[in-house]
């Protein structure tokens, strides 16, 4: 095994019926990823939400064999894999309960840049939409942002290409595995993007661009972006779905208004009408609303996470007693084990603590 850490990260993602949420729970309770495959049955069945069916899925799956094959593929294609336990994992994404367990990436990426803007829209933009997309992508660069989109035809392609031509970082979020570039017409653009940015995906290497993958992909775009700009979108387009995710995540959404008779402006006009998007006029409006001239760094913003009073107490105990065990933490906090476990998972998801082997806890650095 060339890298046990990556190997077990890959393996747990291949267990049937064990999605990202249950995988995170297993790792949190057992203290290390490899113990998901080596722990006793009695230990695993004590974990909330993990019954006989899921235990059988763990021991009877081909996860280890699939991970071996996947490890060969990521080494062949020079792909990086980051898990939600790693410091490099996007902090913006980690804040969402539906964040993926793993992210595959290719290129020269900063997954935690200071400012991020998603520019999204229809695959069939009007001439006006094309011009506005290019204008927005150029002008937003004065604020040193990383542009995020989905590498699709149309608006996505224009946004990525404009960022690359401006020597600005850009990240494409794919709805398929990184062994394939989809659409294939953007292969050359994707290779250029890797110079100052690159590609990410939550899907295993050989995953095909199936229709159902793209709505899930859109939640990652919405999570990674501080601001989402919808240039043109129909009412049922993928961009409209991304904007809905963004609203659920309390992100700032801007929409470019269009004529009432334009089908590709129906989504934008509806977002503005229903107060789910600001009316876009200039990039200065975005900078003003986000206070980019005076805004704190994302690291500072992470300190502003709204914690339950008991979570704050638990955090303080761990800070004062690093490497504290779960048993001692129960005693020190006077919080029932079931509730304490829930609080610890939330603190870990928010990047505030780490669970070490042996179920000992420390403050994240």
Specify the DSSP element, H or E, that contains 6: helix 4-13
pLDDT at 339: 82
Q: Which residue has the higher pLDDT, 236 or 116?
A: 116
CATH number of the domain bearing residue 328: 1.10.10.10
Length in residues, the chain = 365
Last residue of a domain, one of 56, 76, 96: 76
For residues 58 and 112, membership in a common domain is answered with: no
Q: Which residue has the higher pLDDT, 170 or 345?
A: 170
CA 253 vs CA 159, 226, 229: distances in Å = 16, 9, 6
For residues 261 and 334, membership in a common domain is answered with: no
Specify the DSSP element, H or E, that contains 156: helix 155-165
Q: How many domains does the chain have?
A: 3
For residues 204 and 352, membership in a common domain is answered with: no
Give pLDDT tens digits for 200-216: 999 999 999 999 999 99
Q: What share of the chain is helix, strand, coil (3-state, %, to 5)?
A: 50, 15, 40
pLDDT at 228: 97
pLDDT at 279: 93
Q: Which of 285, 281, 263, 265 is nearest to 273 (CA)?
A: 265
- The segment with the largest mean pLDDT, out of 26-30, 298-302, 348-352, is 26-30
pLDDT at 271: 94
For residues 266 and 283, membership in a common domain is answered with: yes
For residues 37 and 139, membership in a common domain is answered with: no
pLDDT at 298: 38
For residues 334 and 233, membership in a common domain is answered with: no
For residues 270 and 161, membership in a common domain is answered with: yes
Q: Give the pLDDT band (50/70/90) at residue 365.
A: low
Contact 220, 173 (CB under 8 A): yes
Between CA 176 and CA 189 the distance in angstroms is 17
Expressed as residue numbers, the domain containing 60 is 4-76
For residues 197 and 176, membership in a common domain is answered with: yes
Give pLDDT tens digits for 120-148: 999 999 999 999 999 999 999 999 999 99
For 160-165, what is the mean pLDDT? 97
pLDDT at 3: 59
CA 302 vs CA 6, 95, 298, 349, 352: distances in Å = 27, 9, 6, 12, 9
For residues 322 and 255, membership in a common domain is answered with: no
Note whether residue 85 is domain-resident.
Answer: no
Give the 3-state secondary structure of 33-64. Answer: CCHHHHCCHHHHHCCCCCCHHHHHHHHHCCHH
For residues 50 and 121, membership in a common domain is answered with: no
For residues 111 and 62, membership in a common domain is answered with: no
Note whether residue 102 is domain-resident.
Answer: no
pLDDT at 306: 67
pLDDT at 360: 82
Last residue of a domain, one of 277, 298, 319: 298
For residues 56 and 142, membership in a common domain is answered with: no
Share of the chain above pLDDT 90, in %: 57
Give pLDDT tens digits for 306-344: 677 888 889 989 988 888 888 888 888 888 887 888 888
Note whether residue 347 is domain-resident.
Answer: yes
pLDDT at 127: 95
CATH number of the domain bearing residue 15: 1.10.150.20
Q: Which of 161, 166, 168 is nearest to 190 (CA)?
A: 161
- The segment with the largest mean pLDDT, out of 182-191, 258-267, 272-281, 339-348, is 182-191
Note whether residue 87 is domain-resident.
Answer: no
Note whether residue 84 is domain-resident.
Answer: no
pLDDT at 299: 43
- Using the predicted structure, report yes or no on whether residue 1 has a pLDDT greater than 60: no
Note whether residue 93 is domain-resident.
Answer: no
Last residue of a domain, one of 27, 60, 76: 76
- Using the predicted structure, report yes or no on whether residue 218 has a pLDDT greater than 70: yes
Q: How many CB atoms lie within 10 A of CB 105?
A: 20
What are the strands of the beta sheet with 324-325, ordered from one edge?
A: 324-325, 360-363, 353-356
| Average pLDDT score over the chain | 89
Note whether residue 94 is domain-resident.
Answer: no
Q: Give the pLDDT band (50/70/90) at residue 302.
A: very low
Q: Which of 109, 108, 101, 105 is nearest to 79 (CA)?
A: 105
CATH number of the domain bearing residue 124: 3.40.50.450
Note whether residue 188 is domain-resident.
Answer: yes
Q: Give the pLDDT band (50/70/90) at residue 32.
A: confident
């Amino acid at each position: 095994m060339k890298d046990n850490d990556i190997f077990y990260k890959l393996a747990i993602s291949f267990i049937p019926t064990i999605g990202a949420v249950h995988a995170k729970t297993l790792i949190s309770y057992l203290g290390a990823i490899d113990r998901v495959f080596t722990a006793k049955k009695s230990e695993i069945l004590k974990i909330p939400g993990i019954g006989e069916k899921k235990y059988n899925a763990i021991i009877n799956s081909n996860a280890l064999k699939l991970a071996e094959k996947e490890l060969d593929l990521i080494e062949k294609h020079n792909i990086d894999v980051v898990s939600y336990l790693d410091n490099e994992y996007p902090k913006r994404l980690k804040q969402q309960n539906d964040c993926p367990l793993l992210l595959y990436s290719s290129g020269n990426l900063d997954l935690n840049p200071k400012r991020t803007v998603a520019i999204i829209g229809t695959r069939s933009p009007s001439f006006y939409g094309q011009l506005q997309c290019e204008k927005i992508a150029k002008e937003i660069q004065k604020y040193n942002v990383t542009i995020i989109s989905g590498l699709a035809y149309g608006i996505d392609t224009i946004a990525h290409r404009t960022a690359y031509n401006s020597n600005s970082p850009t990240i494409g979020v794919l709805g398929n595995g990184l062994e394939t570039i989809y659409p294939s017409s953007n292969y050359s653009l994707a290779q250029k993007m890797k110079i100052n940015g690159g590609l990410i995906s939550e899907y295993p290497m050989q995953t095909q661009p199936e229709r159902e993958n793209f709505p899930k992909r859109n939640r990652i775009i919405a999570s990674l972006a501080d601001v989402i700009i919808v240039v043109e979108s129909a009412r049922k387009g993928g961009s409209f779905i991304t904007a809905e995710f963004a609203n659920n995540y309390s992100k700032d959404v801007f929409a470019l208004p269009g004529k009432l008779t334009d089908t590709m402006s129906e989504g934008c006009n509806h977002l503005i009408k229903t107060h789910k998007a600001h009316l876009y006029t200039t990039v200065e409006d975005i900078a003003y609303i986000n206070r980019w001239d005076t805004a704190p760094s994302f690291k500072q913003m992470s300190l502003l996470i709204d914690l339950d009073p008991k979570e704050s107490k638990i955090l303080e105990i761990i800070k004062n007693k690093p490497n504290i065990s779960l048993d001692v933490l129960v005693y020190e906090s006077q919080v029932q084990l079931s509730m304490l476990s829930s609080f610890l998972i939330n603190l870990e998801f928010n990047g505030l603590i780490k669970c070490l082997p042996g179920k000992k806890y420390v403050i994240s650095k």
